[in-house]
Amino acid sequence: MSDFALEIENISKSFDAVKALDGVSFGVPKGSVFGLLGPNGAGKTTLFSIIASFLHADSGSTRVLGVDIDHISELQGRLSILPQDALFQRNVPILEQLAFFRLLDGKTRDEAEAEVEATLEKVGLAEYSKRGVHALSHGMLKRMGIAQAFLGNPEVILLDEPTSGLDPQNAKQIRDLIVELQHTGEATTVISSHNMLEIQEMCDHVAILDHGKLITHGSVQEITRAGRQLEMTFGRPLTDQQRDALANMQVISAIEQRGPERYRLMLDLDGSSMDEDAGIAAVLRSLLDLGAAPRSFKEGNSLEEFFLQVTGKESEGAE
């Protein structure tokens, strides 16, 4: 048995003259929360659509849970997706619509309705179950989409830009919801986004696409190891002497001033023999020795830094 829930091999897809995907290959480990990153037009939605068999690849193969997606009907109830921009039927009540999906998965009507009601309760839409989708706001529709994707605890869940077009509050709600639902099942979840913060917050593995090509893939830790960041705020600005002392540390590759008393320290764990905890401890010890006690301390957005490095583009998370 493969350790991968999803195996993508040499997938290519063109739309007329535009090459949307060019020989993309990677695997998604079972049980992981996998982020598919890339700027707009990188090919994320195309790749998702090929995995879900909405689109046919020009070449290459895709296996989900060991099943070739040419036989996608064998994955009935085991694979689900929140497609980007797909609309629910306007004239069908929400409960009826979602229950029909479970009927297609082979459930009885009673089982299907019970499952849908429970899932709608989880996403906070229980009171709308008898109404049509026209009664839902954009954020609610996204939650309904998430409910649809998590219905019946599928083994692999694909979420295509689950927070796109949402205000920060709604986006946070959706992220929390995904994390909560992810914890209740044992699914492998693949989330596509161009929001680095979102991916870094939720995912343990990532793949980065740009112009249809795979730039890199692996665990978030591996990818950001060379560019781990610490954001620190001090009671007063660092003196030149303190900055120089920090900059001379082997584990620190750069120091960037982000505000009057706020600094971003770039750690290069690849260049030292230390692990992450030891590296951070060494930095803190040096700061205390230099008489600069940090008032606040948080991990910076290392993934974004890496993304910008490899794609040369601003991400949504940087805005």
Partner 1 sequence: MKLIGLYSTKYSIRGGVGLVFLLLSLIFGLSVASSLLQPVELLVKEGAKRGIELTREDVVNQIKDERIIRGTVSWVLGSNAIEEIEDPEEKQAAEEELEQWTDHLLDDHPALLSAILMILLWGWPFVTIMGAFNLFSGDIQSRGIRFHLMRADRSSIFFGRVLGMVIAHALVLVFLALTIVLYMGAKLPFYGWGPLLTWGMQGCLVLIILSIPYIAASAWISSAIDSPMVSLIVITLLVGGVPIVALIGRNTWEPLENVTYLLPWGTQVYLQHHSLSHFLAATFGCLGYAAVFLFLGHRHFTRRDL
What residues make contact with partner 1 under the rule CB under 8 A?
Answer: 49, 52-56, 72-73, 76-77, 79-81, 83, 85-89, 91-92, 100-101, 103-105, 148
Which residue's structure tokens are 């249809």? Answer: 212
The first and second tokens of residue 199, run together, are 């991916």
Sheet holding 262-267, edge to edge: 252-257, 262-267, 228-234, 294-299
The minimum distance between CB 89 and partner 1, in angstroms, equals 6
The minimum distance between CB 121 and partner 1, in angstroms, equals 21
Based on the number of CB atoms within 10 Å of its own CB, is 290 exposed (0-12), middle (13-18) or buried (19 or more)? middle
DSSP symbol at 58: S
Which residues, in sequence order, are bridge partners of residue 193?
37
10 vs 89, beta carbon nearer partner 1 = 89
Contacts of 222 (CB under 8 A, 6+ apart): none
50 vs 238, beta carbon nearer partner 1 = 50
91 vs 273, beta carbon nearer partner 1 = 91
The minimum distance between CB 53 and partner 1, in angstroms, equals 7
The minimum distance between CB 146 and partner 1, in angstroms, equals 13
Sheet holding 79-82, edge to edge: 79-82, 156-160, 188-193, 33-37, 205-210, 213-219
147 vs 252, beta carbon nearer partner 1 = 147
62 vs 200, beta carbon nearer partner 1 = 62
The minimum distance between CB 179 and partner 1, in angstroms, equals 23
